[in-house]
């Protein structure tokens, strides 16, 4: 059982789990230079506040922090590696306006969230999600962006009875990330970079050429959650969660994604899973996708949800 220590007052607040900082390492680790904590004005600072009502669920040794908006059939959303659930703010507002409940799920070590074990595997994190799903009255749709796609599929694999379908946004997990893009993914978390170097890493790794880069995407790169999520991913082979418990999949792929190129992601999923997959390829967007094509993403999800008998 893990233990969370309060280091800031209030919710949202930042908690740190004892004995974890400095222990879990990313295989291609960035240079931390002794700065293990998020800074107040650098890449690890707060991106922005999440929309919705914040709830905290203490169960099975986990502290689960969610932000919910709207009423209706529920979608549970998981953010990218080391990112905040507030990346989904616009999507959550669109879903709520369309008659759905959007629940933004915080990763461990941010906004008070805490995993149930000190060194969780991806399936441990999925089981923590399962603890939340056990409190719901009906199966939900899971939505995962980048790393979140892995957690969504792992959850669907472990708790398929609680999941109606899965939306994958910028979904990788099978092929290695191309070298330059992998370096950019590492560098976005590095507080020692000059601002222009950090901006260049975010732009190359996450945004299609020419697209505006929202200021909040220069913040919200949190090392502690990213270390835990990376170690959790390495602990479970992707073949164990790749099929997402055979749940229906909507795959949203950005055609200019440098980290998860379509040839390594949506093309593979369509070829292997066939009728399980509904695919939407979005031009003019990169790995961030959410701030680049919000209207296209919302329309694709709502159209796909209409295939379920939810209303």
Q: 270-310, pLDDT tens digit by residue?
A: 999 999 999 999 999 999 999 999 999 999 999 999 987 54
> What is the share, in percent, of the chain residues with pLDDT greater than 90?
83
State the average pLDDT for the chain: 88
> Domain 4-305 is classified in which CATH homologous superfamily?
Alpha/Beta hydrolase fold, catalytic domain (3.40.50.1820)
SS3 labels along 236-260 = CCHHHCCCHHHCCEEEEEECCCCCC
pLDDT band for position 174 (50/70/90)?
confident
The H or E element that residue 233 is part of is helix 223-234
Range of lowest pLDDT (1-5, 144-148, 173-177, 188-192): 1-5
Q: What's the pLDDT at 168?
A: 98
The mean pLDDT of 246-269, rounded to a whole number, is 96
- State the Cα–Cα distance between residues 37 and 116, nearest whole angstrom: 21
pTM for the predicted model, two decimal places: 0.88
Q: What is the mean pLDDT of residues 57-67?
A: 97
The predicted pLDDT at position 3 comes to 53
pLDDT of 34 reads 30
Could you report the per-residue pLDDT of 186-229, keeping only the tens digit for each? 999 999 999 999 999 999 999 999 999 999 999 999 999 999 99
Residue 247: both structure tokens together: 């749940």
pLDDT of 119-171, one tens digit each?
A: 999 999 999 999 999 999 999 999 999 999 999 999 999 999 999 999 999 99
pLDDT score at 225 = 96
pLDDT at 7 over 60: no
pLDDT score of 23? 23
DSSP state of 278: E
CA distance 199 to 43: 10
- Domain segments of the chain: what residues? 4-305
Strands (E), the chain: 4-6, 15-17, 53-59, 62-69, 74-78, 101-105, 140-145, 163-169, 249-254, 277-282
Pairwise pLDDT comparison (310 vs 92), residue with the higher score: 92
The DSSP code sequence of 52-71 is SEEEEEEETTEEEEEEEE-S
């Amino acid at each position: 059982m893990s233990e969370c220590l309060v280091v800031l007052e209030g919710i949202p607040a930042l908690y740190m789990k004892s004995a974890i900082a400095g222990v879990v390492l990313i295989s291609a680790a960035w240079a931390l230079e002794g700065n293990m904590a998020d800074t107040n004005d650098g890449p690890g600072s707060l991106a922005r506040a999440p929309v919705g009502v914040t709830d905290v669920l203490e169960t099975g040794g986990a502290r689960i922090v969610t932000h919910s908006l709207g009423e209706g059939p529920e979608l549970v959303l998981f953010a990218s590696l080391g990112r905040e659930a507030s990346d989904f703010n616009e999507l959550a507002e669109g879903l709520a306006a369309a008659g759905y409940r959007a629940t933004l799920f915080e990763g461990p070590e941010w906004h008070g969230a805490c995993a149930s074990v000190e060194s969780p595997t991806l399936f441990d994190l999925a089981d923590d999600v399962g603890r939340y799903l056990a409190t719901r009255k009906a199966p939900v749709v899971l939505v995962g962006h980048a790393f979140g796609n892995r957690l969504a599929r792992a959850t669907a694999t472990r708790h398929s009875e609680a999941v109606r379908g899965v939306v994958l946004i910028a979904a990788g997990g099978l092929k290695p990330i191309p070298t330059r893009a992998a370096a950019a993914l590492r560098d976005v978390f590095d507080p020692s970079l000059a601002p222009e170097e950090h901006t260049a890493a975010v732009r190359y790794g996450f945004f299609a050429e020419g697209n505006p880069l929202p200021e909040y995407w220069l913040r919200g790169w949190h090392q502690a959650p990213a270390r835990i999520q990376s170690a959790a991913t390495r602990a479970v082979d992707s073949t164990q969660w790749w099929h997402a418990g055979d749940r229906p999949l909507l795959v949203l792929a950005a055609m200019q994604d440098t980290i998860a190129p379509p040839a390594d992601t949506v093309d593979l999923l369509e070829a292997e899973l066939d009728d399980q997959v509904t695919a939407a390829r979005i031009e003019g967007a990169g790995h961030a996708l959410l701030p680049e094509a919000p209207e296209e993403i919302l329309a694709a999800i709502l159209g796909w949800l209409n295939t379920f008998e939810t209303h």
